[in-house]
Amino acid sequence: MHLLFCWTCVLVLVLPGPCSTAPTSIPEEEVTALLTGQTQEDLKLATEYLRHYYNLKKEQPLARIKRYLPSFTSKVKDMQSFFGLNTTGSLDSETLEVMSTPRCGVSDVEDYSHNNRVNRWNKNVITYSIGRYTSDLPHSTVDSLIESALSVWSRASTLTFVRSHTQRADIMVEFATFEHGDAYPFDGSKGTLAHAFGPGEGIGGDAHFDDDETWTAGSKGFNLYLVAAHEFGHSLGLRHSQNPESLMYPTYKSSRSSHNLLSKEDIAIINSLYGPKNSQPYYYSRHGWNPLYNPWFLGSHFPLMMQNKCSADLSFDAQTNLGFQMSCFFPLFWRYLWIKHNQQYDIKEGPINNFMPKIDSKIDAAFWVPRRSTAYLIHESMYWTVKGSIVKGKPKPISNFGFPPWVQEVDAAVHIVKTGRTLFFIHDIYYSYNENRRVMDAGYPQYISDDFQGLNTTIDAAVYKDGVIYFFVGPHVYKYDYTQKQVVGTEKANTWLGC
C-alpha cells in the first residue's frame, strides 16, 4: 500500500552530538571535500528530502562515501528535473528553496497505487463520512469545506459524492495527531499537514488531517478547502503533477484562487478515470468554445461568448434588482450579465464591464436593499455598492458585514423586505444580517436545511418577491413561501429570461 501525497513542511533536523553513533550523518570534513560550499544544515535538509521523496537510499559507511556521492547527485538532478530547475546536481539556492517549501509528503517518483490496483473506483457514486473534527473551525464549517472540496471534482466529472454517517464510507475524513492507526504518524505542528490513500477497500480513499496544524477557511494557517481538494484528488486516483498550475502540484499554495482550482490537465485526468461531465463543463476558458455558446467579438482582441439564455441547463450565480424596474442576472462562471426591464420583454446582455466598467470579475452573490435603492454585488471576499448602474467607490471587504475571518466567499444573498434582514448563504449554512443596525444577528450561522425545509443543497442565487424567496439551484428555481416556511413550487431558471 502506498501512502498518498500530503502537504508537508520539511524540517531541518539537528545533527547528532559527538557522542552519537547515528550512521546517517556525514562528517563536516567529508561534506566540505565532496560538496564544496554546502553547509551541514543544507546537506542534512537535502538528504532527508531526497530520501523521503526521491528514494535516496540510506547513507553508506564512510569508507564508501565516494560511491554514495554519485547517487546523491543523481537524486538531486531527479528532483530538479521534476520541478523544472536547472539540472546541475548541486545544491544551489533555488534547489534548496524548493526543498524548504511546504509540500505533499510522499514520493514524487514512486508509482502511485493502492494495493497495486487500477487507480480508480469502479463506481461513480462515492460515499464519504467525517469522523473526528478539528477544534479550529465549527463543525458546520468543516462540513461545508469538505463538501466544497469534493465538489471541485464532481463538477469536472461524472462523480457524485454522497455523505454517509457510518464508518463504512468510501472516503473517511479524520482529524488526528501523531500515531493514529495507519502506520503513518503525524509529526506535530508545521510538519505533515495531511495524507490520503488511493481507491480501494478498507483504508483506501481515506483522508487524514493533522490536528496539530491551524486549519482555516482563509489565507492564514492552512486552508482546509485547498488541502482537502488536493488530498481528495489522491483519494480518487490522481498522482502529483509537474505543472505548477495543477491542483495536484506537490507544493502548497495559499494564494491559489478558490475558484477554478483544476487545471486543464487535472480535468483531463479525472475525465479519463471517470468520464467527462455530460451537461456543463467545470469552467469555460475565455478563448474556449462550447455548444451552448455563440462567439462574438469585442474589438479585434479576443472572442467573448454570448450565452444561450434559453438553454435548458442555464443557471445563475447571482440575481438582483438594479432599481425598481430592472433585474440583473449573472450566470455561473462568467463575467457576464443580462439586464431585464420588469415591464418589457427586451433584454440587454454582455460582459459586466460593458455596463459597469469598474467591475471585471464574475459575481458570486448579489442583493438589493429597496429603502436605500442600492444593490450589493459580491465576488469572493469583496463587494461593490451599485446605485442605478453606477458603481460607487472601490470594492470593500465582506468582513464589513461582520463575518468571521474564515468566511472568504458567499454563495448567495437575499434581502427580506418584511424583516429588514439580509440572508447570506455559504455552503450549507447561512447568516442573518440586520440592515437597520448593520450587525449580524446573534445565534448565527444556522444550517440551511434546519430553517428552510426542502432545501438540502448549496444555493446558487436567491431573490425575494411578494413574500416568496426564489432559490436558484442549478437550472431549477425553488419557490419558498417565507410565511408558510415551505417550498410551494419549482420552475426552470431560464423562465426568468422569458423562455
Question: Per-residue pLDDT tens for 56-66?
Answer: 887 544 445 55
Is the predicted pLDDT of residue 374 greater than 80, yes or no? yes
H/E stretch holding 307: strand 303-307
* Average pLDDT over the chain, rounded to an integer: 77
Predicted local confidence at residue 110, as pLDDT: 65
By mean pLDDT, which of 260-264, 290-294, 334-338, 353-357 is the weakest? Answer: 290-294
Q: Count of CB atoms within 10 A of residue 346's CB? A: 8
Is 441 annotated as contributing to ligand binding?
no
Cis omega before residue 291 (within 30°)? no
Tell me which of 356 and 31 has the higher pLDDT: 356
Q: What is the CA radius of gyration of the chain?
A: 26
**Residue 336: pLDDT band with limits 50, 70, 90:** low
pLDDT tens profile 150-197: 999 998 999 989 888 888 899 999 999 999 998 878 878 876 788 888
Q: Count of CB atoms within 10 A of residue 416's CB? A: 17
Residue 367, φ and ψ in degrees, nearest 5: -155, 160
β-strand pairing of 171-176 with 207-210? parallel
H/E stretch holding 272: helix 264-274
pLDDT tens profile 454-485: 887 788 888 888 888 999 888 888 999 888 88
Predicted local confidence at residue 262, as pLDDT: 92
**Residue 86: pLDDT band with limits 50, 70, 90:** very high
Cell of 480: 419558498
Predicted local confidence at residue 258, as pLDDT: 63
Residue 264, φ and ψ in degrees, nearest 5: -60, -35
- Rounded CA-CA distance 415/420 in Å is 7
- Rounded CA-CA distance 360/378 in Å is 12
Is the predicted pLDDT of residue 212 greater than 90, yes or no? yes
Is the predicted pLDDT of residue 393 greater than 80, yes or no? yes
Predicted local confidence at residue 491, as pLDDT: 87
By mean pLDDT, which of 83-92, 118-127, 304-313, 428-437 is the weakest? Answer: 304-313
Predicted local confidence at residue 79, as pLDDT: 92
Residue 43 CB contacts under 8 Å (≥ 6 apart), including other chains: 26, 31, 35, 91
**Residue 229: pLDDT band with limits 50, 70, 90:** very high
Is 211 annotated as contributing to ligand binding?
yes
H/E stretch holding 462: strand 461-465
Instruction: Give the whole-number percent of the chain exceeding pLDDT 70.
Output: 73
Measure the CA angle with vertex 457, ends 452 and 461; round to 5°: 80
Is 213 annotated as contributing to ligand binding?
yes
- Rounded CA-CA distance 96/46 in Å is 7
- Rounded CA-CA distance 317/413 in Å is 10
What's the average model confidence in pLDDT over 217-221? 84
DSSP string, 402-424: T--TT----SEEEEETTTTEEEE
**Which residues are bridge partners to 347 per DSSP?**
340
Tell me which of 6 and 75 has the higher pLDDT: 75
Pick from 272, 59, 17: nearest CA to 158: 272
β-strand pairing of 316-321 with 326-331? antiparallel
Is 2 annotated as contributing to ligand binding?
no
Cell of 160: 457524485
Q: Count of CB atoms within 10 A of residue 204's CB? A: 20
What's the average model confidence in pLDDT over 41-56? 84
Is 360 annotated as contributing to ligand binding?
no
- Rounded CA-CA distance 412/397 in Å is 16
Is 187 annotated as contributing to ligand binding?
yes
Cell of 410: 458567499
Predicted local confidence at residue 309, as pLDDT: 66
Predicted local confidence at residue 303, as pLDDT: 30
Is the predicted pLDDT of residue 227 greater than 80, yes or no? yes
The catalytically annotated residue of 28, 48, 201, 231 is 231
Is the predicted pLDDT of residue 87 greater than 90, yes or no? yes
Beta strands in 11-110 (DSSP E): 103-104
Is 191 annotated as contributing to ligand binding?
no
Residue that the C-alpha cell 469538505 belongs to: 146
Prediction pTM value: 0.51
Contact 121, 157 (CB under 8 A): no
H/E stretch holding 317: strand 316-321
What's the average model confidence in pLDDT over 200-210? 91
Predicted local confidence at residue 285, as pLDDT: 31
Beta strands in 177-229 (DSSP E): 194-196, 207-210, 215-216, 222-223
- Rounded CA-CA distance 180/189 in Å is 15
Tell me which of 347 and 399 has the higher pLDDT: 399
Contact 212, 171 (CB under 8 A): no
H/E stretch holding 28: helix 28-34
Predicted local confidence at residue 353, as pLDDT: 66
* CA atoms within 13 Å, Cβ hemisphere of 77: 9
Is the predicted pLDDT of residue 383 greater than 90, yes or no? yes
Helix axes 40-53, 65-82, angle to 10 degrees: 70
Residue 396, φ and ψ in degrees, nearest 5: -120, 160
What's the average model confidence in pLDDT over 138-143? 91
265 given a catalytic annotation? no
3-state helix, strand, coil in the chain (%, to 5): 20, 30, 50
Tell me which of 279 and 198 has the higher pLDDT: 198
- Structural domains of the chain in order of their starting residue, each with its CATH number: 7-104 (1.10.101.10), 125-274 (3.40.390.10), 293-497 (2.110.10.10)
Predicted local confidence at residue 465, as pLDDT: 85
Measure the CA angle with vertex 386, ends 385 and 391; round to 5°: 90
Is the predicted pLDDT of residue 80 greater than 90, yes or no? yes
What's the average model confidence in pLDDT over 88-110? 83
**Which residues are bridge partners to 409 per DSSP?**
none
- Rounded CA-CA distance 407/433 in Å is 14
Is the predicted pLDDT of residue 7 greater than 70, yes or no? no
Contact 156, 262 (CB under 8 A): yes
Is 180 annotated as contributing to ligand binding?
yes
Is 248 annotated as contributing to ligand binding?
yes
Predicted local confidence at residue 108, as pLDDT: 78
Tell me which of 137 and 354 has the higher pLDDT: 137
Burial 1-19 (b: 16+ CB within 10 A, else e): bbbbbbbbbbeeeebeeee
